[in-house]
Structures are given as structure tokens and as C-alpha cells.
């Protein structure tokens, strides 16, 4: 189950962190105090998850007044799960304090040098705990089945600011000491920290952005509809239960698009393109405040309960705030991503809603399948029972499981009791089973349709026939990111070089500042060996560390011998700027 923790004997209820960020040694060091509820009164060994931690001391206490040294040992590490920390505690112990340091290579942390930031003067650190990387910076029961509250003291160089995905105690800038409190019980993968030259700009009473000074204004503008998204989601699925909702914009090496850390979504700067066309990312991470953070997958095999639900919610939010035209485009692009993922995956079970993890790192089974197949499943239910009924059903699911970790079996039981049974025969058990186990898309799925993207396909056909870039310029005058992405992706993989360069000259695709458009263009360029795009592509692959944008480029390049040589050459320069999880993905791909 991705964890070594003995949660049948002890459950963490509260965590107290006191950590110092040492940028010279690239370590987080200090103490983690874990307060337990005992499930087994006789148990005398607490097993925690760790990865590459240097454990210096373990102490146990009952009540916290006096502490005794506790014997401990670290099991040999496994590549997938790290190393179990076994601490022997007295029978009456209800808490444990571990003194430790993280490794400079901690998989859940990225230490950036000043040149890797936008300010270029100060270093930066951020964490990314999902799925099982919290253990690389905190000795912890690293499973989403366990929820805990926490308090944290974070000590940093005086010129830096620390932000955690938690409530902050005010008024500390310049002190080098920051205090945080997370009063709602959360799973370990939602613990998050960022340290850097961070400033804050409010957007509404409860929303705002954190970013480096150079990035803050554009970020606040791009994300200004966030408050409206929250109100929309509350109207559909019940109150936002986390107090504030802020966004923290990271340097471009952030390996994901976004991460739903509670109260403070962490986001890639690559969605800030000036026209709000990529803010579905905010809708997505915000939606996790219901599907994921409030009602959490109990195991990583139930990941679709987080991501499938969130993808469905994301599109409902986009539809309500920006209109059905955009949400339908997103649904179609999602389908295309699903088809691509299914083709790329090598383990058959990973093409289903619930990949079998066994003793694999959940990260190795990661794909968009649980996202898109899960969202299609929910759209199917919506279609069968009607939107109003389905909305009420979902809201009830969130309300009745708030702050709980849940399994697929629990969802299925709830589904049959509160939805399926209201109209027997509407959906059959066989259909449900097919959704759960199919490696393709069920024939009875309700497929999205986008008139806007059909028009794009017509424009593509016209251009392929006539070759007229001016006619295409007219047709595409009002295209958004999604339409350009669809157009480029829908082009044949073999095109004449002069065709490509005419397109490039007219629409400046090689130099597109839009990371999504540039991404699909570079894929087309690789397929055609359109070399004029390669220098810009190389700069892109060095500057950006977002896995979704770079990994397909490496994969495409690796299909031919000279492409692979080029990929290796680029990677030799890019690797040190990538986050450890991006490094390990590209390492695997090129070796």
C-alpha cells in the first residue's frame, strides 16, 4: 500500500515541525513530533516512512512533559518506498520526536540556485509531497489513509519568506522565523512548503497570489477570476471549508501544472499566458478542495476518486465561469490526451480507472487515465440521472465524507444507495463494472462534442488543400490556446518543410511565448525534423521542468537514433535544473 507505517497499531493525529532550511547544505533539519492515537494498546514499535533521511535521534513521551530516548533502526531502503524507520516506544507513549535532516537529493524537494529564479538573486526551495515524497523531508506515516493536523515553525535566511499550505501567523517578514498551523486534518501528501523571495498580492478577501516580485502582477491579473470560481463551486458542491484560497507561482522547474496544497495551490508559471486561456488549471486545483482534500483517496489505487472527480468538477467550473464553448474544448482535448496516454502506457492495467500498484511507486503508474476515464464515468452518470440530481448526489458525497479518506468500494456503495437505486434499471451493474475495469472507453459513454474544434478541423482541411496561410490567418484570428493546440495536433505528422516554414513565419510558432502551443509545435517539428525549431525547443527544454511539457518531447526525440542523441545532448544541459521526479522520469526514458 505504498507505506511501511503500522497504522493498525498507531495513527498520527497531530504533527509539530520545527525545521531550519539550510541552503548551503541543501537540507531541511530539525524535529518532527508525532502525536498518536493508539489502536493496539500493547504495541511497542512505531514504524514510520522515510526516504534518504538522516535520523539523529528518537525520543518518546507520554503527555509531552518528559522525554526518554527511544531505540530506533532504519531498514534497508527499497527504490519504490524508501526505508522503514522502526522506533521502540514504552507502552504508555503517545508521542514521538524525531531529530533528523533531509538529504540534498530529497525526492520531494527542489533546491534552486538564484539563476533558476526570476529574480536571479536569491535561492528558492519548494516541496512536492504527492504521491509519496513527504517521507523524503518528514519521517511520517506517509499514506493518505491517515489524516493529521499540524503546527510548524520554519527557520530561513532573513531575506527569504516561507509559505506553507496552512494558516500563517502574521507579521514576521524579515525575522527569518515563520509559524504555521493547519487546523483541519489532512493527509501527509498535502503538506507543502515554499521558501524564496516571495511577495503577496490580494485578489479578493479570501484569495491572493504569492510569487516572486517580477511575476506577481501578471499572475494576479491572470488569476483574477479565482473568487468567482470559488463562489461557483460552493453553489454546486457546498461551502469552501479551508478559509483562504491563495495561489503560489513557482519557478518554471516545478514538475507539475499545479498541486492542490490546501489553502495555497502551487502552480507552474507556464499557464500565465496573458489571456486567461489556461486557468482551467486553477479550476482544477480549486476543485480538489472538495474532491481530494476534503474527501481523499484512501490509497493511491483509489486515485481516480481524487483526479476523476476533480477533472469532472474542473469542467463544470469552467463551463459556469467561462461558458460551454471552452469547457467542451477542454473535454475534447482531454479525450485526445486519454487516447495518447493509452497508447503510451506499457502496463495494461494502467489503462484502467484503478491501476494495480503492487510494489511500484504510485508515480510510476501515473497517467491521465484516472483523470479522463473517471470524468467520463461521472459525465455518464450525470447524463443518466440529470444534472440537478447528480449535483445533489455529489454534494451529499462531499458533505457526508468531509475530512475522511475513502475507497472505491465506499463510493460504489454510496452510489448504489443514493443514486442508482433511485431509478432501478437506468444503469446496470454490468455497466458500472465495465467503467471500473475497461482498458478502453465503454461504448455507452457519453462523448463530448465541440463545434469550435470542428471548425478548427475544417480550417486545417482547407489549409492542407490550399496551402493559403492568409486564409488560415482569417479563420484563426480569434483562436484561443485550445484551438491552436488542436489545430497543430490535428496536422498530419508528415508535412513538407516549406509548408511548415510558411506556417511558422506567418504565426511565429517556434517563438510562441505560449508554452502549450510551443509544446505541440515542437512535437510536430520533431516528427518532421523541422530543424529551424530546434534551438528554441532546446531553450524551452532547459528552462521548463514541467513534466507534461517536456517528457513527450524527449519521448518523441528518442524514437530515432539521431533524435535520441540530440535528446541526450539537451538533457545533459537541462538535467541539473529539473526537479528530482522529472529527472527520474527522463533518466528512465533515455536509458
Residues that bind Zn ion (CB under 5 A): 307, 310
User: Which grid coordinates belong to 566?
Assistant: 540530440
How far is residue 311's CA from residue 485's CA, in Å, rounded to a whole number?
A: 19
Footprint of ligand BES (CB under 6 A): 130-131, 256-260, 281, 284-285, 288, 307, 366, 548
Instruction: Residue 259: name its binding partner from ligand BES, Zn ion, none (Cβ under 5 to 8 Å by kind).
Output: ligand BES
Looking at the Cβ atoms of 44 and 340, the one nearer to ligand BES is 340
How far is residue 287's CA from residue 139's CA, in Å, rounded to a whole number?
A: 29
Looking at the Cβ atoms of 309 and 507, the one nearer to ligand BES is 309
Three-state DSSP class for residue 357: coil
Report the Cα 392 to chain-centroid distance in Å: 27
Instruction: Residue 130: name its binding partner from Zn ion, ligand BES, none (Cβ under 5 to 8 Å by kind).
Output: ligand BES
94 neighbors 61 (Cβ within 8 angstroms): yes
* Residue whose grid cell is 514541467: 546
DSSP string for residues in 233-258: HHHHH----SS-EEEEEPPTT-SSSE
Q: Give min distance, CB of 128 to ligand BES, in A.
A: 7
Instruction: Residue 254: name its binding partner from Zn ion, ligand BES, none (Cβ under 5 to 8 Å by kind).
Output: none
Looking at the Cβ atoms of 6 and 515, the one nearer to ligand BES is 515
Instruction: Residue 578: name its binding partner from Zn ion, ligand BES, none (Cβ under 5 to 8 Å by kind).
Output: none
What residue spans of 360-450 are helical by DSSP H?
369-385, 387-400, 408-418, 429-437
Three-state DSSP class for residue 200: strand
Instruction: Residue 281: name its binding partner from ligand BES, Zn ion, none (Cβ under 5 to 8 Å by kind).
Output: ligand BES
Looking at the Cβ atoms of 123 and 292, the one nearer to ligand BES is 292
Looking at the Cβ atoms of 288 and 331, the one nearer to ligand BES is 288
* Residue whose grid cell is 535520441: 564
DSSP string for residues in 160-220: -EEEESSEEPS--TTSSEEEEEEEEEE-GGG--EEEES-EEEESSSSEEEEE-HHHHHHHH
- Smallest Cα–Cα separation from 543: which of 124, 199, 109, 115? 115
Looking at the Cβ atoms of 117 and 130, the one nearer to ligand BES is 130
User: Which grid coordinates belong to 441?
Assistant: 472507453
**Angle at CA 291, nearest 5°, toward 286 and 294?**
90
Burial 267-292 (b: 16+ CB within 10 A, else e): bbbbbbbeebbbbbbbbbbbbbbbbb
Instruction: Residue 489: name its binding partner from Zn ion, ligand BES, none (Cβ under 5 to 8 Å by kind).
Output: none
How far is residue 90's CA from residue 42's CA, in Å, rounded to a whole number?
A: 9
Q: Quick check: is 285 catalytic?
A: yes
Residues in the chain: 591
197 neighbors 122 (Cβ within 8 angstroms): yes
DSSP string for residues in 426-447: SS-HHHHHHHHH-SS--TT---
Looking at the Cβ atoms of 366 and 507, the one nearer to ligand BES is 366
Burial 87-106 (b: 16+ CB within 10 A, else e): bebeeebbbbbbbbbbbeeb
Instruction: Residue 319: name its binding partner from ligand BES, Zn ion, none (Cβ under 5 to 8 Å by kind).
Output: none
Q: Give min distance, CB of 477 to ligand BES, in A.
A: 27
Q: Give min distance, CB of 357 to ligand BES, in A.
A: 13
Looking at the Cβ atoms of 101 and 191, the one nearer to Zn ion is 191
**Residue 211 phi, psi dihedral angles, 5° rounding:** -165, 170
60 neighbors 70 (Cβ within 8 angstroms): yes
The 10 Å Cβ neighbour count of residue 170 is 7
Q: Give min distance, CB of 268 to ligand BES, in A.
A: 7
Q: Give min distance, CB of 184 to Zn ion, in A.
A: 19
| Interacting residues of 193 by C-beta distance below 8 A, sequence separation 6+ | 125, 126, 127, 152, 154, 162, 163, 164, 165
Instruction: Residue 258: name its binding partner from Zn ion, ligand BES, none (Cβ under 5 to 8 Å by kind).
Output: ligand BES
How far is residue 379's CA from residue 308's CA, in Å, rounded to a whole number?
A: 10
Looking at the Cβ atoms of 549 and 570, the one nearer to ligand BES is 549
Instruction: Residue 136: name its binding partner from Zn ion, ligand BES, none (Cβ under 5 to 8 Å by kind).
Output: none
Looking at the Cβ atoms of 472 and 485, the one nearer to ligand BES is 485
Q: Give min distance, CB of 331 to Zn ion, in A.
A: 16
Q: Give min distance, CB of 173 to Zn ion, in A.
A: 31
Q: Give min distance, CB of 32 to ligand BES, in A.
A: 22
What are the counts of helices (DSSP H) followed by strands (DSSP E) for the chain? 18, 22
Catalytic-labelled residue, pool 100, 237, 322, 371: 371
Q: Give min distance, CB of 288 to Zn ion, in A.
A: 6
Catalytic-labelled residue, pool 167, 285, 307, 483: 285
Q: Give min distance, CB of 88 to ligand BES, in A.
A: 33
- Smallest Cα–Cα separation from 265: which of 244, 241, 251? 244
* Residue whose grid cell is 526570476: 118
Q: Which residues are catalytic?
A: 285, 371
Amino acid at each position: 500500500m505504498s507505506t511501511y507505517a503500522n497504522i493498525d497499531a498507531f495513527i498520527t493525529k497531530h504533527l509539530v515541525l520545527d525545521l531550519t532550511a539550510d541552503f548551503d547544505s541543501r537540507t531541511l533539519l530539525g524535529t518532527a513530533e508525532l502525536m498518536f492515537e493508539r489502536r493496539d494498546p500493547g504495541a511497542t514499535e512505531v514504524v514510520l516512512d522515510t526516504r534518504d533521511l538522516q535520523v539523529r535521534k528518537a525520543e518518546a513521551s507520554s503527555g509531552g512533559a518528559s522525554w526518554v530516548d527511544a531505540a530506533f533502526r532504519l531498514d534497508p531502503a527499497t527504490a519504490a518506498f524508501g526505508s522503514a524507520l522502526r522506533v521502540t516506544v514504552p507502552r504508555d507513549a503517545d508521542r514521538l520526536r524525531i531529530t533528523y535532516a533531509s538529504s540534498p537529493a530529497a525526492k520531494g524537494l527542489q533546491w534552486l540556485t538564484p539563476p533558476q529564479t526570476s529574480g536571479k538573486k536569491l535561492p528558492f526551495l519548494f516541496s512536492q509531497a504527492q504521491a509519496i515524497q513527504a517521507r523524503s523531508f518528514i519521517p511520517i506515516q506517509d499514506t493518505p489513509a491517515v489524516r493529521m493536523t499540524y503546527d510548524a515553525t520554519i527557520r530561513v535566511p532573513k531575506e527569504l519568506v516561507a509559505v506553507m499550505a496552512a494558516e500563517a501567523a502574521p507579521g514576521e517578514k524579515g525575522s527569518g522565523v515563520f509559524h504555521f498551523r493547519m487546523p483541519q486534518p489532512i493527509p501527509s501528501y498535502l503538506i507543502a512548503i515554499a521558501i524564496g523571495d516571495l511577495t503577496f498580492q490580494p485578489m479578493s478577501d479570501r484569495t491572493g497570489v504569492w510569487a516572486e516580485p517580477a511575476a506577481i502582477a501578471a499572475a494576479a491579473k491572470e488569476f483574477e477570476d479565482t473568487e468567482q470560481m470559488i463562489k461557483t463551486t460552493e453553489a454546486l458542491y457546498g461551502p469552501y471549508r479551508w478559509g483562504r484560497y491563495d495561489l503560489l507561482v513557482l519557478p518554471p522547474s516545478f514538475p507539475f501544472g499545479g498541486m492542490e496544497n490546501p489553502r495555497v495551490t502551487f502552480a507552474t508559471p507556464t499557464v500565465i499566458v496573458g489571456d486567461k486561456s489556461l486557468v482551467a488549471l486553477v479550476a482544477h486545483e480549486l476543485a480538489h478542495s472538495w474532491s481530494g482534500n476534503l474527501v481523499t483517496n484512501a490509497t493511491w489505487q483509489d486515485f481516480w476518486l481524487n483526479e476523476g472527480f476533480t477533472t469532472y468538477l474542473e469542467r463544470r467550473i469552467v463551463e459556469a465561469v467561462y461558458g460551454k464553448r471552452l469547457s467542451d474544448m477542454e473535454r475534447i482535448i482531454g479525450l485526445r490526451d486519454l487516447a495518447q496516454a493509452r497508447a503510451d502506457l506499457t502496463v495494461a492495467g494502467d489503462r484502467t480507472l484503478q491501476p494495480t500498484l503492487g510494489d511500484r511507486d504510485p508515480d510510476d503508474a501515473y497517467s491521465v487515465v484516472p483523470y479522463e476515464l473517471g470524468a467520463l464515468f461521472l459525465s455518464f452518470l450525470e447524463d443518466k440521472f440529470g444534472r440537478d440530481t447528480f449535483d445533489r448526489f455529489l454534494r451529499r458525497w462531499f458533505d457526508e465524507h468531509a475530512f475522511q479518506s475513502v475507497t472505491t468500494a465506499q463510493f460504489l456503495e454510496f452510489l448504489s444507495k443514493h443514486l442508482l437505486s433511485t431509478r432501478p434499471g437506468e444503469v446496470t451493474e454490468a455497466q458500472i463494472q465495465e467503467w471500473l475495469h475497461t482498458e478502453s472507453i465503454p461504448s455507452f459513454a457519453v462523448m463530448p462534442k465541440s463545434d469550435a474544434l470542428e471548425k478548427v478541423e475544417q480550417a486545417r482541411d482547407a489549409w492542407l488543400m490550399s496551402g493559403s496561410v492568409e486564409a488560415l490567418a482569417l479563420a484563426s484570428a480569434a483562436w484561443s490556446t485550445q484551438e491552436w493546440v488542436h489545430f497543430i495536433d490535428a496536422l498530419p505528422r508528415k508535412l513538407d518543410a516549406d509548408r511548415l516554414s510558411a506556417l511558422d513565419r506567418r504565426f511565429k510558432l517556434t517563438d510562441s511565448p505560449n508554452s502549450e502551443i510551443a509544446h505541440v509545435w515542437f512535437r510536430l517539428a520533431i516528427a518532421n525534423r523541422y530543424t529551424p525549431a530546434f534551438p528554441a525547443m532546446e531553450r524551452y527544454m532547459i528552462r521548463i521542468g514541467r513534466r507534461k511539457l517536456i517528457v513527450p518531447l524527449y519521448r518523441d526525440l528518442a524514437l530515432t537514433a539521431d533524435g535520441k542523441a540530440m535528446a541526450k545532448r539537451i538533457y545533459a544541459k537541462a538535467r541539473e535544473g529539473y526537479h528530482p521526479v522529472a529527472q527520474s522520469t527522463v533518466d528512465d526514458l533515455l536509458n
